[in-house]
Every structure is written in structure tokens, then in C-alpha cells.
Amino acid sequence: MAGAPTCRPFTTLLIANRGEIACRIIRTARAMGLRTVAVYSEADRDALHVALADEAVCLGPAPARDSYLDIGKVIDAAHRTGAEGIHPGYGFLSENAGFAQACADAGLVFVGPTAAMMTAMGTKSDARALMQKADVPLVPGYHGEAQDEATLRNAADGIGYPVLVKASAGGGGRGMRIVRSAAELAAAIVSARREAGAAFGDERMLIEKYVENPRHIEVQMIGDSHGNLLSLFERECTLQRRHQKVIEEAPSPTLNAAQRDRVYEAARKAASAVGYIGAGTVEFVSDGKDVFFIEMNTRLQVEHPVTEFITGIDLVEWQLRVAFGEKLPLTQDQIALNGHAIEARVYAEDPNRSFMPSVGRIKTWRTPPEVDGLRIDAGYSEGDAVPPNYDAMLAKVIAWAPTRQAAIRRLARGLDETDVRGIATNIPFLSALVTHADVCANAVDTGFIERHLQELTRPSVAPGETELAAAVAAVLLADSKASSTDPASPWRTAGWMAVGRRRRRFIFRQGQAEHEATFVYGNGPDEIQLGDKNLPFAFAADGSEGMVLTLDGRRSPVVFAVDGRELYLRTRNGRFELHWVDPFGEDDEEQAGEDRIVAPLPGTVVALLAEEGTLLEKGAPILALEVMKMEQTLRAPFAGRLKKIKCKVGDVVQEGVELAEIEATA
């Protein structure tokens, strides 16, 4: 790396973002000797990025429009703290040309491209027009100014279905819909516009030909103010759900040498068209033979760590050096590709409930050590609250190895050793996805997850393993040395008699299934009885995270967490959430009746999709909620009549609030 300049244009950096990207920027900035300033909303008062920064400023209430998206408040926070530079991260204001210009007008260094470059490339429509002039290959589509439904319909009819209705601003899969027939178009436009307006404050749409069985390829670019523009190889982000990237890797396992050269050439044309300065990504879709430009992201990408792993370059450091006015530290010929890297995004969402976002307080946060090619970029820690107001991403698990297969194995191990409790996460889904035979063989396209969703969300525990987990739970419950140190916990019991043989029967529930295990103790070895088998056991402490259990001669580590009657177990054979059925207590939880539609999470009602008195088929849409920046549709659980709607558009509702009532029809 180049040495530090003798005089920098700024020494204090404000990070206009939150979560894992704010934490990641703070770490590099501090390593470079910069003082760091965080900003936060009232919902993020105790967030990790706030604790990591040297100073922090509250911007306002939880809604992003009143805090993280308020340009005036961010600029004022910089002036109040003496910050001379602002790094926008990604999302929020990162591709907002007005924000970049406001920074310049306020005498602040914006760590990113200029407002003019953002204007040229920051919306998909404008970027397509520019790329057409630069002779960059494009997917057939419409990117005009006219946004009335008739114009968009005529464009879609002319292109031919299926088409992609797509928000002109922003990314992350928001405001994007696949439309396979003319009959679906109007509803898709309305829904996509609503979601795009909420996420980006811009409802403009474009229409593209939908490429069947596509692959998503992107090239990392970075330029400086001295005329140097480099490509840092490519990434593949084909594994997506609802147009949102889930797994990313570098380099692409799909491109051959000739295709790679064509992609690099197209990316250089795209970035050169605006004399690009800063880090940015040129994105392409491939049909297996040709590649087509789809957009340029004028910011750092979520998946930038995989590029950092294969190049050895800290992209945030390079962004800051460019902002200092330095030349890029290396030339194109000096950048070498080393090995393979792959990343998985850990989200607060429940794959078993259609990936419904999850909010609440994190009770357990355990990640493996960042050694041997493993990296964890996290925005949360144990005890933190996950609010409903922002993106659901908690962390990224990234692995590097000399080969793709070794990197996949390392990532799978990293995911297996990551435990997050208190909220639902997609970790089991990610583990199933990254180890799927077709993923390992690179036999995928962007529709792979949707086609294999049932398989990927099916419990991966082998038959009989849950019973063994129940045996482990009984050991923990029966022996105070292994269980909770809280004397009031149901997992702590008194010692047992020294003579005779005694038995304690335990029943555990996982989902709707119940499992029984009997603890046999007294004279002779301690045993667990499962059915007609008596299994001897022994255990030893294994640090603060668990124990090593020997059960019937089978020795394995067990990680566990106890919360009241709930027990979480992770063994080599899977993850288990067990509930101890108290034989003397009230055990059934009150649940809402099936005739009531309730808010699954805090959110905002954005659309009513059915009228009172309407006869509904099972699965018919009733209303839409915006939760964690994504639109969630609530549907009829059975065929019936919509008896009552108990909310209106714009209502901010809390979890469990009744929104509608249905009555079954005979």
C-alpha cells in the first residue's frame, strides 16, 4: 500500500449509515488514523456502530426519513462534530446525487463519485441511455421519461413477455417484479412503485426483457482523480431470492477467458463514459453466452469482501485514499487474483414463514474465530435489539480458500458455528443452500432458490437425531453442573440420591412433535433411556459455550443456550429448538384464532387489497404491510368472507394487532 500523505484533506470521518457497513468502515478508518463519527436514530441508540465510533450524534426518530435519510441533519451532524469527510456506506443516501452535492456545497469531502457522475449513472434509466451511446450491450427495454401506465404497457407489449418491471432508483431487489403476461402488468407496476417509493423516494419504473435462467455477473471498478481506472476482477451473485442477493462469490465460476475479457471491456466502457472516480460496480446479466449491461452501482457493494479476499485490497481504504486525492496504490498489472472467496448474508428472517422479517432482542450471538480464511462482518452483538425500521441484514460470513470447493466447505463450517438466538435467522437455510449439490457444481441460475425453496427450508436433521437431542436436553436439565446457574431456572435441579436407582422422565416439544427421554441415576452409571435403549453418558465443560458429551460411546461437542423452558442445542447433527413440557404448569400458549388476520411484525399498512364482504379463496391477498423496507402481503388462511377490515392505509401497527377478520363459508 502507498504511504500516508503528509497532509490529508480531512482527519475526521462521519459515517452516514448503520449496521455492519458502518462498523466495517469505522474499523478501517480508525486503522488509518482517522477519528470517526457515527450517526444513529432513536431506535439505534445502543447499536454496535454507535459504540465503536469515537463520537456519535442522534439524528432523530426511528423512521429512516426522519433520521438516516434527512440530508440536513446529516450535514449538521458533520459540522457539529468537526467532521470534514462523509462516507455514505451503501443504501440510504449512498447513491443520492443531492446528498453528494449537499456535501460539496457544505465544504465536506464526499467519499464517492461526484453528484454529476451519480446523476449520469445513479438511475437505471439514465445509465441505460448513456450505455447505449457508449456501445455497451444492453438488455432490450424501455427507460424513457414517460411513466403513465399506457406507455409502460405499450413498451412491455413491444418487448414481449416475460418482462421485468424495475425501480429506476436503488437496488436490493426492492421495487422489482417479474411479469409473465399482460394481465399481471398493472398490479405489478402499482406494487413495485409503492415499494420503490418507500425505499428510495423515487417511483419511476423501467421495463426490461426478462432473461430466462439468467446469471448475475458484476465487475468491481475503482478510479482516482488522476485518470486511473482499474477493474478488480468480477463477482457472481446468481443465487438470489426476490431479486435480492443471498450468496456472492469471486471470481465467477461461470465465465471462460473470452467471456471474462468481454465483460471487463464492457465494464471499462461503462465507467469510462463518465470518467468515473471512486468505487463502483458495473452489473451484467448473462444468458450463458452473452452478457448485457443492466446497471451501475455508484457506491460500495454489500459483497465487496469477496473482492478484498481475492485481491488483498481493502476497498474502504482505497476509497478513502481516492477521497484524499491520492493516486491508486497499484496499477492494473500489479493486481493479481488469488484463490476463491464466497459470502453469505445472514438476515433476521424466518425461512419457515416465507422469510418473514424477525425483530426483537438478540439473546445469543456466537460466531467462530476469524482465522483460516474466515471473516465475519457484523452489525450486531449479544443483547442488541433488532428494530423493524431498517434492512434485516445482521451480518455477513465470508470465506476464502485456494479453490472454490474448499471455500464452500469453509463457509459451510463458518455458518454451522454461528449461533444467533432470540430472533429467527436464515442461517439453516444458508447452510442448506451453500452445500446443495447443484450449488457446489455451479448448476444454478437466479431462479434456483425459488425452484428449490421447499427443499432448502426443509429441516435437515436426520431421522432419530431429534431424539438424541432430547437425550442431551435431559442431561442438561437433570444435572446442575451442565445447566443453568440460575437457581430459579427450571433447568436447574437438586442433586440425586446416592443409593438405589431413580428415574426422571422429561418430555420435549419441537414444533408439533413430542420427544421423551428418561434420566436414570443413582447407584451405577448415569444413563438416558430412549425407548427401550439405555445409553450411558458423560460430559465435560468446553469453555463458556457448551460441553463435550459422550453418549453411548459417541463423543461430540454441544453448544447450548437456555431461556426459561426453551433450550437451544447445536450439535454436529443439526440445530434444535426444544421446549420443556412442564408436567405441573400451564404449557400451552394462547394463539390468535385462524379467523383473525394479525400483524406478524410491527409495520405500516401500505395497501388494502380486498373489500369487506368479498368472498375470498384460500391464499387471496387481503392487505400489504411494509416491514423492514420490504412489502409483505397478508393472505386469507382459508376460503371465506372478509367480514371486517380493522385498519387503514398509513396505519403504523404493532405485532399481534388484529387487522382483519374472516368468517368461513359453508
Q: Catalytic residue numbers?
A: 299
d(CA 645, CA 597): 9
554-563 and 630-635 strand pairing = unpaired
Helix axes 427-434, 404-416, angle to 10 degrees: 160
| DSSP assignments along 376-394, one per residue | EEES--TT-EE-TTS--EE
d(CA 17, CA 33): 20
Q: Which of 174, 177, 164 is CA-nearest to residue 200? A: 174
Question: Which amino acid belongs to residue 277?
Answer: I
Listing from the earlier edge strand, what are the strands of the sheet with 278-286? Answer: 291-297, 278-286, 215-223, 229-241, 244-250, 340-347, 393-401, 374-378
C-alpha 577, offset from chain centre: 22
Question: SS3 for 531?
Answer: coil
| DSSP assignments along 178-244, one per residue | EE-SHHHHHHHHHHHHHHHHHHHS---EEEEEPPSS-EEEEEEEEE-TTS-EEEEEEEEEEEEETTE
Please count the residues of the chain.
Answer: 666
Q: Which of 516, 591, 597, 605 is CA-nearest to residue 194? A: 605
Instruction: Specify which residues 626 forms β-bridges with.
Output: 604, 631
d(CA 158, CA 24): 45
C-alpha 510, offset from chain centre: 26
Helix axes 315-323, 19-31, angle to 10 degrees: 70
C-alpha 486, offset from chain centre: 35
d(CA 32, CA 52): 15
Q: Which residue has the cell 421485468?
A: 164
Instruction: Specify which residues 254 forms β-bridges with.
Output: none
| Phi, psi at 394, each rounded to 5° | -100, -40
Question: SS3 for 559?
Answer: strand
Question: SS3 for 61?
Answer: coil
Three state DSSP letters for 277-306? CEEEEEEEEECCCCEEEEEEECCCCCCHHH
192, 177 contact by CB (below 8 A): yes
| Phi, psi at 155, each rounded to 5° | -65, -45
Query: Terminus-to-terminus CA distance in the chain, angstroms?
Result: 74
Cell of 508: 420435549
H or E element in which residue 270 lies: helix 257-272
Phi-psi group of 158: left, alpha or beta (phi > 0 → left; psi -120 to 50 → alpha; rest → beta): alpha
d(CA 358, CA 511): 18
Q: Which of 140, 67, 88 is CA-nearest to residue 298? A: 88
